[in-house]
Structures are given as C-alpha cells and as structure tokens.
Structure 1
C-alpha cells in the first residue's frame, strides 16, 4: 500500500531541486552583474576629462614636475596599457583588494566601511517610510470614492515627479530656516538630522510605489475572494486589511530591489544637500578629483547591495505569493 511519506518524498525532492536551480540562477546572475559593473565602471571612469595622477599628487594645482608625474604613473601602474591595467584590477578584485585611494592614501575598503552604514541607514529608513506612505495612500484610496482616488492619484504623480535636490532645499527652508524645528545639516546631529534626508528620499519613492499599489488594491477589492469575504459578513476594513492589502503589496515587494537602487543613487544628491557623510557624497568627491579606486569601490559595493536586496525581495515575493513557488 502506498503511504503518505512515499508520495510526499518525490515531491519534496522535486521542490528541493527547484529551489537549488533557482538559487544557482540567482548566484550566476549576481556574479555576471558584478563583473559587468566592474568592467563598465573601469572603462567609463577613464572617459572623464583629466589625469588621475593629479589626485595622486594633490590636485591639478600641485605644481608637480613631469618627472614626479611619471614616477607616480609607474608606482600605480598607470603607465601600462589599459587592457593590462584592467586585468590587474580584476586580479585584485578576485583577491578582495579594492586598492588604495589616490587622494586620501587610505585603503578603499576602510573608506567604504566608514561610510557604508550611514548610507544604508538612510536608504533603509527611507524605504520603510516610502512603504508606509504608499500603503496608506492605497488604503485611503480604496476606502474612499472617486474623488479620493483622483486626489490620491494627483498626490502620487506630483510626489514622484519632485526632484530630490528641490525637495531637500524646500524642506530645509521650511523646517530649518522658517520653523527652526530640525537641523539643516545631518552631520553629527543625531536622529533629528535624519528626518529631512529620509523625507527627501522617501516622498518621491512613495509616489512610484503608491501608483502600483493603489491599482492593485482597487483590483483586489473587486476580486472574487473579496466578494466572498463580504458575503461572509466581513466589514470593508476587514476585507481591505486581511485580504486586499497582501495583494496590493505584491507589486511593491517586486519593486523593492529597484527602489533600493534608486535610493542609493538618490543618496548622492541628498548627502550632498544635507552635508551628510556617506557613500553618495564620497562617490561625488571621488569623481570630481578622478580618484579611480574609490569610484570603482563605491560602485561595486552599491551593486552588491542592490543584488542582495533584489534577492531578498524575490524571496519575499515567493513567501507572500504561493503561486511563485511553482516556478
């Protein structure tokens, strides 16, 4: 007689094979993306006008002699052909060496470790706030009439279109200059200094997430499972919170990887506006002086974080939506 364990055994092995295949695809994709980012960044940074030797010798106004410049090129391998420099760079990456900053004369790994936590804190808080605002708009729109839905749509479009630098400047003028509630800069100002940078990053992102969540929420509220819940005596609040909200969150979960990448790129502007130390500000300064190792290190770290967050969002999608587990 066939037992339950005999039937379930092959199914469990099949599920394990699917999970392993899915994991291998993600790992292979992550390795390829990191290689592509490293390669593209290595060659693109060379297109920026200027000589990286200037960063080594203290800037374009250092009055260094041609002999000193040549010695610097030889010391850092900048006199070798570009393909040779590229292969040497990949070899260092495989050994976990991101190089040394031309300008700061400090290990790039140390520089990144000093600023990574600050940028990640800013991005995580902004993503959480954007989710709260987007879900709030979706629930408010679903519970209201056509007027509420129209107003919600306008708010989402306007917030999504607002540039970070303009919004950050506006918040500084309002809350720091006029009301004097919050500090204008976030460097060394504690939790209060995080409020305006987080709002600056979260509000435009909430507009993007709110648009997809509102449409998904509206469809879920008219779906057969929502009608069935109402027939069982479920209130509108119960239908929206217990049933429709999970379906409305699915598009947002799928977009969270892209959203986090958007936040890290927006951090370049926000950290500059609010004089906040972080990867974004370090990247901008490194590009201006052609500090190649720092630029490449920041880009690689941001790409790695983006890959990890995308993987986590894929896992969350599979947990929330059982249909994806069959793929």
Structure 2
C-alpha cells in the first residue's frame, strides 16, 4: 500500500471516529435540553407517582441522574467505549439486549427495502437513458423528483388504506408472516429509491454526453448494448457516494414505517424512547445507526479509488495546496 493510500485511509478513519463522537454527543445534548424530566417519566412508568423523596433520590442515584450533566456524559461515553450502552430507564433492561431483540425485525425489512430501492432506481435510470422519446424521458425524470418530496408517513397510510382496508389484500399491522412485510418494505424503499434514482439519472446523462459514447456510437454499437456496457458502468460511480444517505433515510423510514404499521422493531423502540426521554436507549440506537452509516461510507471510500484512482491524487493535491 502506497503512502498516499495510507494517508487516504487514515483521513477516512479519523472522519469516521469524529462522526460517531459527534452523533453521540449531539444526541446527548438534545435529549438533555428537552423540557421533560427523566425521573418523572421513570416514576410514572413504574406507577410510583407518590414516591417519597428518599425513594426518588435512591432511584436517581441508581441511574446516575443525581450527578452533574458533564459527569453523566463522560461516564456514558466511557462505558460506550467499553461496549456498555447502559440500562433502559423505562424497562430496566440492558440497552444492548433491547436493541438486539428488535434488530432482526428492522434489519430484515430494511435490507429488503434497500434492495427494492436499488432495483427500482436502476430500472428508472436505465429506461431514461435507453428511451429516445423526450416525453417518456421527462416523465421518468419527474418520478424521483416527486416521490422524494412525499411524506413517508402519508405514503404508509395511503398504502394501508388501499391495500389493507379497501382491497383487503395485505394485513395493516403485525409482524407474523411475509405478508406483513410488504407494505413496510414498499414504504421504506421510496425515499432511497428516489434519491438513488436521481443520482443515477444524472450520472447516466453525464456518461451519455462523454466523448467515448460518441465514439461507440460511431462504431455502430446498439442503444441497449451502449447503455449496458458503457453508460451504466461509468455513470453508476457517483451513486456510490449516496449509499450513506440511503442508510440514513432507511433508519428514518424504519421509525415512521414501524410506527404506522405497528411493528416492534428498532424504529418503534427509538420513537418510544424519545417520547419517554429514555436517554440510554436513544443513545444506543443513534450510535448503532451512526455506526452503520460510518461503516458503509468507509467501505465506499475504500472501494471508490479502485474504480477511480484519481480520487486519491485529487485529495492529496487539495491537502498540499
């Protein structure tokens, strides 16, 4: 590995650490700025509204809520570095255990949503690059622009109304059987499909305008083979840069979809924990989402120079200047 490659890897690793720290810290700050009192929430969840001052003090000491905020932050950060995400205020269980019990349900739906989003996005972009009809091309380009701005909860409710209540084809709620996954998967796939589709269309348009495409046309290469051989390969590279955003939109989509369709996954856990100001659980879920975002972006950063080695040269040149 060259010195430039090592420097590039080091910069990306440092950025990954900063993103994890920033997401953890910002979440902690925001949760502590909320007007509600975590102690009050804990007491209400346990039916101890009439608890004595001694009982409240003992409970606050148990969760470390009687310490200064900076001390709480330092203790939680140090514990997280050792793999301890703390104990849920509301449920009294380890945060790691709670997330692990919900992760499988969310992960399965999220992976299917991402797969569906990729297929739809590539299909739209390929058809837009292949077609010679301006009206159809304009319509295909219009679809991502519209769908990316549609509220995901509205889409979920609309799908539920049509396919569950009106037609009765699919269950509206629950998590038993593959049928219950269809509507959440479709709902969660729309934002990433729109984002990826827009990026792919832009990349394909740039590839179609390149000189090597003109040369390929001059050699008599057919439209379909031209798009598959040259346009897709060269125009797909910029889309790799939005994979992290797709993970982010999938996490957001999971919160909304699981709330709409009453699925007890990580998304529902985040929504319930934010409402209850269950700080350790929210911190753990945010750290998990940030870690997924960082790992995928780091993988993209490592893979991208394989397809385009110029990026390392450009990055090194910018730093020297």
TM-score normalised to structure 1 length: 0.89
Matched with 1:216 is 203
Contact preservation (8 Å) 1:175, 1:182: yes
Matched with 2:307 is 320
Contact preservation (8 Å) 1:264, 1:302: yes
SS of 1:161's equivalent in the other structure is: coil
Matched with 2:48 is 62
1:273-314 Cα deviation digits (max 9, x unpaired): 111122111011111112111111111111111101111222
> What is the CA distance between 1:264 and its match in structure 2?
0.6
Matched with 1:161 is 149
Equivalent residue pairs, number:
312
> What is the CA distance between 1:163 and its match in structure 2?
0.8
> What is the CA distance between 1:220 and its match in structure 2?
1.5
**Equivalent-residue separation in structure 2 for 1:53 and 1:199 (angstroms):** 39
Q: Which runs of 5+ in 2 are unaligned?
A: 315-321
Pick one of 175, 180, 204 that aligns with 1:187: 175
Pick one of 272, 281, 287 that aligns with 2:268: 281
Contact preservation (8 Å) 2:12, 2:301: no
**Equivalent-residue separation in structure 1 for 2:302 and 2:115 (angstroms):** 18
Matched with 1:20 is 6
> What is the CA distance between 1:61 and its match in structure 2?
5.7
Matched with 1:301 is 288
Contact preservation (8 Å) 2:187, 2:253: no
Pick one of 138, 145, 150 that aligns with 1:150: 138
Listed as ranges, the matches of 1:106-117 within 5 Å are: 106-117=93-104
User: Would the alpha carbon gap of residues 84 and 322 (structure 1) be closer, same or farther in structure 2, given more than 3 Å must change?
Assistant: closer
Q: Which runs of 5+ in 1 are unaligned?
A: 1-14
Pick one of 38, 42, 46 that aligns with 2:24: 38
TM-score normalised to structure 2 length: 0.91
**Equivalent-residue separation in structure 1 for 2:249 and 2:33 (angstroms):** 24
Contact preservation (8 Å) 1:59, 1:289: no
SS of 1:97's equivalent in the other structure is: coil
> What is the CA distance between 1:18 and its match in structure 2?
2.4
**Equivalent-residue separation in structure 1 for 2:82 and 2:203 (angstroms):** 46
Is 1:266 the counterpart of 2:215? The answer is no
